Homo-oligomer: A and B are copies of this chain.
């Protein structure tokens, strides 16, 4: 259950790496930035961010640990490149109609799946945005969902950020729950059933009337303390409804 994360290395170094500016390393061995990044992503996917260390990556590549530093300035910059790389995975096809709402919904689902494919993304604190080529391409593509519907440019950005923010939060809760399952060996459902009697005691209906009633009802309905997939869907529809009212307001006729 232990995790450690980091991100946002030296911006100049990161940018050079992201856009592959600067001399391409020739390499006596068959090492390269791309091989290192690919290996690091595979490792993080398979064993989590906690298992991602420079030593492990080097070991996986059959190479001395310090050799990585010839190609990559440090771990923080490596994480930046890893992020930009996986952001390149989201689909780019034009959706088959559906209007802005359908397209925003599709964007949300693509990101939901991306986060579940690479859960470690959510454990990397970026601080400042990672402005790699794939991140920009993704931003451009996703903005297309809200283009030409009567919003100003700033409003387009706000709307997209709102949806993406919701997806990130819901995915984080989903991923953390899954990791807790793996770490404890108990599914959320098993854990809930094991602890439900205790909660009954802790949630004294006299002191906590709302919590007692709602907690019990929600727990029983979801079969656990929370249901990330349901929270994602419920929140997405409410947010899209809110955006719909906003869009309607912007073009009154």
Chain A contact residues, CB within 8 Å of chain B: 1-9, 11, 15, 19, 76, 123, 125-129, 131, 133, 136-137, 139-141, 143-144, 147, 152-154, 156-159, 161-162, 165-166, 168-170, 173, 176-177, 179-180, 183-184, 191, 195, 198-199, 202-203, 207-215, 217-218, 221-222, 225-226, 230-231, 234-235, 237-243, 245-246
12 residue pairs bridging A and B, Cβ less than 8 Å apart: A8-B180, A129-B226, A136-B208, A137-B207, A140-B212, A154-B222, A161-B235, A162-B231, A165-B166, A165-B169, A165-B173, A239-B239
A215 pairs with B139, CB closer than 8 A: yes
A214 pairs with B136, CB closer than 8 A: no
Q: In the assembly, what is the distance between CA of A209 and CA of B136, in Å?
A: 11
Q: Which label, helix, strand, loop or mixed, suits the secondary structure of the A interface? A: helix
Q: In the complex this chain forms, how many copies of it are found?
A: 2
B5 pairs with A140, CB closer than 8 A: no
A19 pairs with B202, CB closer than 8 A: yes
B154 pairs with A218, CB closer than 8 A: yes
In the assembled complex, the CB of A165 is this many whole angstroms from the nearest CB of chain B, namely 4
In the assembled complex, the CB of A192 is this many whole angstroms from the nearest CB of chain B, namely 10
A176 pairs with B126, CB closer than 8 A: yes
Max count, chain B CB within 10 A of own CB: residue among A126, A170, A234: A234
